[in-house]
Amino acid sequence: MGNKTLKIIGIVAGAAVVVVGLWLRFMPDKQGASVKQMQVGGQSLAVEVADTDFLKQQGLSNRASLAPDSGMLFIYPDQAIRYFWMKDMKFPLDVLWLAGNRVVGLQENIPIKTNNGQVVRFQSNAPSDMVLEVNAGWIRSQGVKVGDIVFSKLN
């Protein structure tokens, strides 16, 4: 190889290192979700807070499981009907729709796929500003119901 070729390879390699470094520095990390404590109907949970577009989009996708008495809390700036799907999920969920400091809706045992193999899609029945995903069966085992009070230490 000539000197010109080696210089070009060096410039390209250097540029690649800079681009990768910048990408790693500024690309959001799914592990960046903060963990906070909350209570729903008197039951305590450790929740990962999904409060950025990246964290909301990633959700619990591609995880093998969720620890008992834990969940993921999606936070929105307003109350609206919320739409979710089970894309890349590996386990079923229960979902609590929250508005202010109350449970306004519950969906239990949401499967990963429909009977014909399609990704399950679901939505809230009432406007909500927070959505809590927990392990399937948690709502029933904890006796949570619509109207229960939600306490959180999100700040």
Same domain, 20 and 56: no
Same domain, 28 and 38: no
* Alpha-carbon span 24 to 100, nearest angstrom: 36
Same domain, 48 and 123: yes
CA atoms within 13 A on the CB side of 34: 9
pLDDT by 10s per residue, the chain, length 155: 666 765 655 555 444 443 434 333 334 444 567 999 999 988 999 999 999 999 999 999 999 999 999 999 999 999 999 999 999 999 999 999 999 999 999 999 999 999 999 999 999 999 999 999 999 999 999 999 999 999 987 65
Strand positions, DSSP E, the chain: 34-40, 43-50, 70-80, 83-85, 93-99, 102-110, 121-123, 128-135, 150-152
Number of domains in the chain: 2
**What is the number of residues in the chain?**
155
Question: Which pLDDT value is given to residue 28?
Answer: 43
Same domain, 49 and 95: yes
Question: Which pLDDT value is given to residue 143?
Answer: 95
* Alpha-carbon span 146 to 40, nearest angstrom: 10
Question: Which pLDDT value is given to residue 152?
Answer: 85
Domain that holds residue 4: 1-32
We report the CATH number of the domain holding residue 42 as 2.60.120.1140
Same domain, 22 and 60: no
pTM: 0.78
Question: Which pLDDT value is given to residue 134?
Answer: 98
Question: Which pLDDT value is given to residue 74?
Answer: 97
Q: In the structure encoding, which two tokens stand for residue 131, read together?
A: 């959505």
